[in-house]
Structure 1
Amino acid sequence: MTILNRDVLYLIIEELRNDKNTLISCLSVDKTFCEIIVPILWKNPWKILKLEKKYKKLLLNVIISHFSDETKNYLSQKRSKTTLILNEMLKLFNNEDIKFSHLYIPKFFDYQINFTENCCSGIKYFSCSTDIKDNILFELVENCKSIEELEIRFGGHKYNNGIGRLIEAQKNLFSFSLIDHNYHRDLSFDEIIENALIKHSNNIYYYKITTSPTKVLSSFVNLKILEFDDNRELDFLWNYSLPHLQILRVKSFSEKGLADLIKSTCGSLIEIKIDYCDYYDCTDIIQAIYQNCPKLKYLKLRIGDWDIFEFEKILINCQYLDTLFIIIDNLYYWNFLFDVLTKSSPIGLFKFKFNLIFDSFYIPLKPFFDNWVGRCPILLSFDMTTAEHMEDLLKEYEDKGIIENYSNLCDDDDGFELGKVKMMI
C-alpha cells in the first residue's frame, strides 16, 4: 500500500477536525494516524465528549492525572474533593509553561487567575458570560489576540461592555455566537457587540444568535453558517442578501421571514434544518426551498398532509439531496407520503429520519420497503418509541438488504451521521 506523506496526512485529517466519528474510527489505523488525531481531539475535549455523567468522569480522571502525587494521594483517601480539585485546576492557569487553546469561563466566576500572555496568546476558542469580571477581561484584551471562535452567554442582567473591546482586539475571528434565552435585555449592549463585529465582517463565516436578525447580519458578506437557536418564534422582515450561505439552522420562525431568508441565499444552501414549526401551513417555506435550493443535501422539516404535494417538488428539484429528516404532525395519508418518496426521491437520497410528535404506531412501512428494492440500502432512524414498536419489521428488511442500518435515537447525531455536511473553510 502506498504510504502517505505525514504532512499530507495531517492536512487531510485537519479537514475532518469537526467530524468526530471519522476521527475516532481512524485512531486504530496505525501509530501515525493516532499521533496526528489525538492532539486534534484534545484541543477541545468538551466538544467531542457527550454530556452524560460517565463521560464527564472520564475527562475529570484525565485532568486529575496531571495533579501532584500529594494531591492524588489526598483524593484517593476519599476526603472532600471540590475545593482541592478547584485549587489544583486554578494552579494550571498560573503555570507559565502551559498554553491554552480553548477556554470556558462560566457565570459568576470570581477566582484570582493571571491570564498571562504566554498562557493566553494561543487561545482559539473562548466562551464567557456577559457578567465576566473586569480584571479578567482586561488581561484577556491585552494578552489574547488569537481567538477564532467566540461565544458570549448572557449572565442575568449584567453586561460588561468591555466584551466589545475583546471582539475588536482579535486578528482572525471567524465564528461568533450570542446566546440569550431571556425575553428582555439591554439593547445598548447589542449595539456595542454589533459595532465591534463590523471590524470582522469580511471574516465571519459562522454566526449564531437567539434573537431576530438585525442589519449587521447583512454585513457578513462571506457568511456560510447561520443558526437561530431559540424556541421563541422570531418574526421579522428580511430584505438583505446572503449569497454565500451554505447552512441554515433555525428552531422557531415566522413563515414569511424564513421563506424570504431562504430566497436571499441565491441557491447556495446545502443544509436546512428547521426544528420547530408552530404554524400549520409550510407552503411558503417549501416553495422557497424547491425554487431556490438546487444544491440542497440535507433537509429537516415538519410535514403535514396538506404539505405532501408541494413537498414532492423538493424531491424533484433538489437532486443532490441525500438526507431527509421529517417531523410528522398528525399525518393520515402515510401511503401518499411513501409513494412520493419512492417515486420522486433523487437517486442519492437514502438517509431517512422520522420523528412523530403524536401518539400513533401505524406507519405503513412495508409497502415503502418493498418499493425500494433495487435502490441504495436505507439508513433509517425513528424516535425511540416508534422504533421499538416496529423492531421486528425493521430487522426483517435489514436482513433482506433493503435497510443498511436503523436506529432508535432521535437526535441529530445518531450513529450514521445524518446530515453531516463537510465544508472546506
Structure 2
Amino acid sequence: MTCQLTADCLSEIFEYLEEDKFTLHSCLLVNRLWCTISVRVLWRNIWNFKHPCRRRSLRVASSIISTLFACLPNESKELLFENNIFILPPTSRPPLFNYAAFCKVISTHKINEMIFSILSDKTSFYNSFSADKSGLVTTEIIKLLTSQIYSLKKLDCYRFDCDYINFSFNSSPGIRDLLELGCLSTLPSNFFYQLSQVCHNLQSIAIIINNNYVSNGLKELISLQNNLKNIALSTFDNNLADIIPTLIKHSNSITKLRLYNSDEDNLPLSFIGIFSNLQEIILSFPNVLELFENFEFEDFTREFIDFKNLQYANFPKLQTLKIPFHCPKVKYVIKFLENNGKNLKKLYISRSNRDLSLSIANLCPNITSLYVIFKNNELDILKTIFINCQHLESIKILCGVKHLNKKKVLETVANYSPNKFCELKIYSSSYSCVSSKDLESFFINWKNRISKKLLKLIMITGDYFSCLNLENMKIVKKYENLGIIKFETKSYYEEEEEEKLHYSHF
C-alpha cells in the first residue's frame, strides 16, 4: 500500500527547497499535485536567477517572459501586436496556471532588462526602437502582475525611467501586504502617494538617493509606516540631510541600517547613534581604490570624519557590524568595540592592523562570524582569536604573499578553532596551491577532532582552478564522500558582486 504525502506536508518540504531550483524543477515532473505545489515556490521570486552563461540566462529570461506573455489579457496582447511586438508563448496550449498570481516579488528593472535582452537579441543591435518596445512590454507585464498578485511582499523600482510605467495600485489586491520596497528617491510623488494610501506596514525600505533629491511623497510614505525595521540608503552626493529627520521618527523601531556611498569623507554618520535599538550596521564605501587598499596598502585609511563622533555611541542590541571596504581610523573602531563588542555576533572589517585584530580577540568574545585581514606575520593573532572566541563558527581569511600562508592557516584551524567552528573561507590574493599532502593532512586532523562537525570549506580565487589541482580535487571528493567536509569554489568576482549587492540593498 502506497503512502501519499498530503499537500500541506509537501508544501512545508518544498519551502526548504526554495533555493534549490534544480530539485524543484524535478518535482514539477512527479505528478500534478507535486507540480502544483512546486510551481508556486518557483514563481515566488522568479526574477532571482543567475547563470554564468549568457546564452543560458537569455533562454531562462525568454521562458519567463513568454510564459507571462501567454497570461496577458487579450487587450494587452492586441496592444503589443499593434506595435509589432510578437513574443511566442512556450506552447500552443493555454497556460496550466495563472503564473502571475504566484509571484510575491516585482522588480521593474529586472523585468525590463530581461525583456530588452530578448528583443535586442532578435534585432542584434541596441537602438531606441527596441528600447521603446521593451518599455511597452514591461508596462503590460507589470499591469498583469499588480492585478493578479494576491500577496505582494517585495517591490523594487530602481529604473531611472520608471515614470513611463503607469502604476495603478488601486486595482492591486496584494499591495496591502507589501513588506519590502526598493526605490529611487526621484520617482514621481504620485507613485509614493498611491503607496501611502494602502501600505502602512512596510518593514524594509532601500533607497537610492539620486540628484540630491528626496520626493515629498517618499518622505510621507516613510512617516506613515507603523513598524519600519530596516533602512538601506545609497547616495552618490554625500547628502542625507533631507531624509534624516524623517528616519529619526522611527528611531525606536529601526533595527538594521545600511549606508552605501562611493566617498565617505563628508557623509554624516553621527546621526546613527540616535537609533539605539540597532542590531545591524553596515557602512559600505567602495571606490576604484578598494582592490589596492584591501590587498596592497592596508595601512592607507580614509578619514571617516564623522565616525569620530560615532565611536562613543552605545548600541546594546548590536549583533552585526560590517565595514566591507574602507575602514575608519583604527583607534575609532577599537573605541567602538569597547562600547559594543561584547554583544557582537558578526564582524566584517576589511582592514589589516595588529592592534585592531587583538582588540577583536579581547573585546568580542561572543563573535560567531568574522572577517578581518591578517598580515603574514600575524598567525599568532589568529590563534588568539580562536582561543578567546569560543563561539566562533565561521571565518574568512585572506591568504597570499603579504598575508597568511594557506598551509599554516589550515594547520591553525585544525588545531585551535573552537568546537562550534564549521565554516572556513580562504580568500586568495595571489596564485598559490595547497599541496596534496598538506590538504589531506588537514582533512585527517579535522576528522580526528573531538567535535565531529562537518566543515564547509570555500575557496575564493581569481579563477576557479588556481586553488586546487586534479590530485587535490580527488582528495576533496574522498572526504566529501566520507561526510567530513563540504567543498565549494567561488571566483573573486562572484564574491565581490554578491557582497556589493548584499551591502547596498536588503
Q: Pick the TM interval, shorter chain.
A: 0.7 to 0.9
2:153 to 73, 77, 101: 101
1:393 corresponding residue in structure 2: 472
Alpha-carbon distance change, 170 to 332 in structure 1, aligned in 2, over 3 angstroms = closer
2:169 corresponding residue in structure 1: 116
Tell me if 1:160 matches 2:160.
no
**Any idea what SS the aligned residue of 1:208 has?**
strand
Equivalent AA in structure 1 for residue 138 of structure 2:
L
Equivalent AA in structure 1 for residue 378 of structure 2:
D
1:247 to 309, 314, 320: 320
1:73-92 deviation per Cα after TM superposition (whole angstroms, max 9, x unaligned) = 83229796525412412533
Alpha-carbon distance change, 294 to 307 in structure 1, aligned in 2, over 3 angstroms = same
Tell me if 1:359 matches 2:431.
yes
Alpha-carbon distance change, 56 to 226 in structure 1, aligned in 2, over 3 angstroms = farther
1:210-235 deviation per Cα after TM superposition (whole angstroms, max 9, x unaligned) = 25562332232322222222215562
1:312 corresponding residue in structure 2: 383
Tell me if 1:407 matches 2:472.
no
Q: Kindly state the Cα deviation for residue 4 of structure 1 after the two structures are TM-superposed.
A: 10
Equivalent AA in structure 2 for residue 163 of structure 1:
L
Equivalent AA in structure 2 for residue 201 of structure 1:
S
CA distance in 2, matches of 1:370, 1:94: 56
Alpha-carbon distance change, 217 to 97 in structure 1, aligned in 2, over 3 angstroms = closer
CA distance in 1, matches of 2:280, 2:63: 32
1:171-226 deviation per Cα after TM superposition (whole angstroms, max 9, x unaligned) = 2211110012x2x34x3xx2332211122222212211125562332232322222
1:86 corresponding residue in structure 2: 138
CA distance in 1, matches of 2:420, 2:493: 20
1:155-177 deviation per Cα after TM superposition (whole angstroms, max 9, x unaligned) = 24444244222211112211110
1:50 corresponding residue in structure 2: 50
Q: Kindly state the Cα deviation for residue 395 of structure 1 after the two structures are TM-superposed.
A: 2.1
Alpha-carbon distance change, 96 to 35 in structure 1, aligned in 2, over 3 angstroms = closer
Once the two structures are overlaid, the 10-residue window that deviates more, 384-393 or 190-199, is 384-393
1:232-267 deviation per Cα after TM superposition (whole angstroms, max 9, x unaligned) = 556222110122122222222123333333333242
1:146 corresponding residue in structure 2: 201
Q: Determine if contact 1:321/1:349 at 8 Å carries over to the other structure.
A: yes
1:64 corresponding residue in structure 2: 69
Equivalent AA in structure 1 for residue 324 of structure 2:
K
Q: Determine if contact 2:258/2:284 at 8 Å carries over to the other structure.
A: yes
CA distance in 2, matches of 1:307, 1:296: 19
Alpha-carbon distance change, 13 to 350 in structure 1, aligned in 2, over 3 angstroms = same
CA distance in 2, matches of 1:262, 1:4: 51
Once the two structures are overlaid, the 10-residue window that deviates more, 33-42 or 143-152, is 33-42
Alpha-carbon distance change, 343 to 44 in structure 1, aligned in 2, over 3 angstroms = same
Equivalent AA in structure 2 for residue 110 of structure 1:
D
Q: Determine if contact 2:424/2:456 at 8 Å carries over to the other structure.
A: yes
CA distance in 2, matches of 1:30, 1:313: 55
Q: Determine if contact 2:66/2:87 at 8 Å carries over to the other structure.
A: no
Q: Kindly state the Cα deviation for residue 65 of structure 1 after the two structures are TM-superposed.
A: 3.7
**Any idea what SS the aligned residue of 2:143 has?**
helix
Give the root-mean-square deviation of aligned CA atoms. Answer: 4.0
The correspondence of residues 116-195 of structure 1 with structure 2, limited to 5 A, is 116-117=169-170, 119=172, 120-180=175-235, 182=236, 184-185=237-238, 187=239, 190-195=240-245
1:21 corresponding residue in structure 2: 19
**Any idea what SS the aligned residue of 1:243 has?**
coil
Q: Kindly state the Cα deviation for residue 366 of structure 1 after the two structures are TM-superposed.
A: 4.9
1:417 corresponding residue in structure 2: none
Alpha-carbon distance change, 57 to 309 in structure 1, aligned in 2, over 3 angstroms = farther
**Any idea what SS the aligned residue of 2:486 has?**
strand
Alpha-carbon distance change, 355 to 336 in structure 1, aligned in 2, over 3 angstroms = closer
CA distance in 1, matches of 2:186, 2:71: 30
2:88 corresponding residue in structure 1: 76
Alpha-carbon distance change, 347 to 30 in structure 1, aligned in 2, over 3 angstroms = farther
CA distance in 2, matches of 1:5, 1:123: 26
Q: Determine if contact 1:282/1:307 at 8 Å carries over to the other structure.
A: no
1:49-80 deviation per Cα after TM superposition (whole angstroms, max 9, x unaligned) = 33765154454344334223646983229796
1:280-315 deviation per Cα after TM superposition (whole angstroms, max 9, x unaligned) = x42232123222322222222222123221221110
1:378 corresponding residue in structure 2: 455
2:282 corresponding residue in structure 1: 227
Q: Determine if contact 2:146/2:171 at 8 Å carries over to the other structure.
A: no
Q: Which runs of no fewer than 5 residues in structure 1 stay unpaired?
A: 415-425
Equivalent AA in structure 1 for residue 312 of structure 2:
N
Tell me if 1:344 matches 2:416.
yes
Alpha-carbon distance change, 62 to 157 in structure 1, aligned in 2, over 3 angstroms = farther
1:271 corresponding residue in structure 2: 346
**Any idea what SS the aligned residue of 1:176 has?**
strand
Q: Determine if contact 2:7/2:37 at 8 Å carries over to the other structure.
A: no
Equivalent AA in structure 2 for residue 177 of structure 1:
A
Equivalent AA in structure 1 for residue 431 of structure 2:
D
Equivalent AA in structure 2 for residue 140 of structure 1:
L
**Any idea what SS the aligned residue of 2:155 has?**
strand
Q: Kindly state the Cα deviation for residue 411 of structure 1 after the two structures are TM-superposed.
A: 6.5
CA distance in 2, matches of 1:42, 1:301: 38
Q: Kindly state the Cα deviation for residue 387 of structure 1 after the two structures are TM-superposed.
A: 4.8
Which has the larger helix fraction?
2
Once the two structures are overlaid, the 10-residue window that deviates more, 310-319 or 53-62, is 53-62
Normalising by structure 2, report the TM-score.
Answer: 0.67
Equivalent AA in structure 2 for residue 139 of structure 1:
Q
- Size of the aligned set, in residue pairs, is 402
2:355 corresponding residue in structure 1: 284
Alpha-carbon distance change, 225 to 60 in structure 1, aligned in 2, over 3 angstroms = farther
Alpha-carbon distance change, 86 to 285 in structure 1, aligned in 2, over 3 angstroms = same
Q: Which runs of no fewer than 5 residues in structure 2 stay unpaired?
A: 90-121, 124-129, 288-301, 496-506
